[in-house]
Structures are given as structure tokens and as C-alpha cells.
Homo-oligomer: A and B are copies of this chain.
Amino acid sequence: MWVMRTDERITLAMAELLRRQGYAATGVNQLARAADAPTGSIYHHFKGGKREVAEAALRSTGAAYIRLLPLLLDPYEDLVEGIEAAFAAAGEDMRGTGWANMCPVGTVTGEVADVEPRLREVAGEVMAGWIEEGTRYLAGRGLSEPGARSAMYALLAALEGAFILARGLRSVEPFAAAGRSVAAYVAALGDRAAEPGGAIIR
């Protein structure tokens, strides 16, 4: 049977801990236990220690998350409808995991951007990548480039915020409302793009 490499196990365990309890509250010993690896192995694979593990975890989950965008939206011919459905799916996933499945990138950014500047940088790079890829995707679905970019900013903001509200309120309602809001925005962008005057800029 194939087994995961130790450094991958460590990265994955860190990502899981980050999204449940953040960076500062996660200890190296706890990480070692979760990854089923001794403390020494962590420092063997990640000479930068806890921070370097967190960087790797942010990058790896960042890459995984953006792949969900086409995965969730491709099945819907109507983009607006797809967005509402995607938000609803995210909400159900959160409910199913006991309101724990936060986005680690958002959690870490909110938590220690000042105290750990390197993590802020990495999170910023991941987010910028999301914007770029997401903009390309939405433009491919018919939005103007500036409209797609703006919609992507709005979508990510609504999504990250919905995670937080849902976690605090223990309700999927924030996801439902955020989805309707972003859908309305994309619909408005599309309407205006379809007008005789042509595409709208903002």
C-alpha cells in the first residue's frame, strides 16, 4: 500500500489545524501528534520550523482551493445560478464538519498578519493567485475582464466572510445570502455587458 511522504503528512496536518484553530494556538507538539511524526522530523523537513510548515500548508491549500472554482461552476450553464449553488455547497460542507472547515488562508491572515509578516506575504501571494485564476475563469464565462476581476474580489470577500459568520452563528444563512448577493452582482455585470452600449467597466 502506498503511504504519504512524511513532509506531506506534516503539511496536511498543519493545514487541518490552521483552519480549525489558527496559527498561534497550534503547537509543534500538537502538529507532530496530528501528523504522526516525531518533533525531530518536523525540523528535519522544515528547517524554518513551525512558520515554514505553515507557509507550505497555505500554499498547498491555496492551490487546492482555486481548483474548486471550475469544479463547482462548470456544471452550470448559467453562471449566476452556479454561484448560488456553489455558496450553498460551501455552507453545507461547513455544517457537515461542525462549523470547523474554515479557510486556513483567511484564518491566518486575520490572525497573525502583523506578528508574522512572512505568513502575511505568503497568504497575499495565494490570494493574488486566486484573483488571477478566478478572473481568467469568469472572463471565460462571458464577463468582461474588469468585470470578472471585480466579481472575483467580491466573490472571495463574500466567501471568506461567510465562513466567519457561519462559524460564529452556526448557520448556513450567511452562505445563502452571500451567494445571492454575489449572484446579483454578476447578473448586473452581465446585463450591462449585454446592453447595446457594450461592456461595462467597473
Q: How far is the CA of A114 from the CA of B101 in the complex (A)?
A: 11
Residues on B with beta carbons closer than 8 Å to the beta carbon of A167:
109-110, 113, 120
Q: Are B107 and A111 touching (Cβ within 8 A)? A: yes
Selected contact of A156 from candidates B131, B159, B165, CB within 8 Å: B165
* Contact flag A168-B22 (CB < 8 Å), given A157-B174, A188-B184: no
Number of copies: 2
Stretch at the interface among A4-12, A31-39, A70-78, A146-154: A146-154
* Contact flag A178-B154 (CB < 8 Å), given A110-B102, A115-B25: yes
Q: Are A153 and B178 touching (Cβ within 8 A)? A: yes
Residues on B with beta carbons closer than 8 Å to the beta carbon of A158:
154, 157-158, 161, 178, 181
A contacts, CB < 8 Å to B: 20-25, 99-100, 102, 105-107, 109-115, 120, 123-124, 126-128, 131, 150-154, 156-165, 167-170, 173-174, 176-178, 180-182, 184-185, 187-188, 202
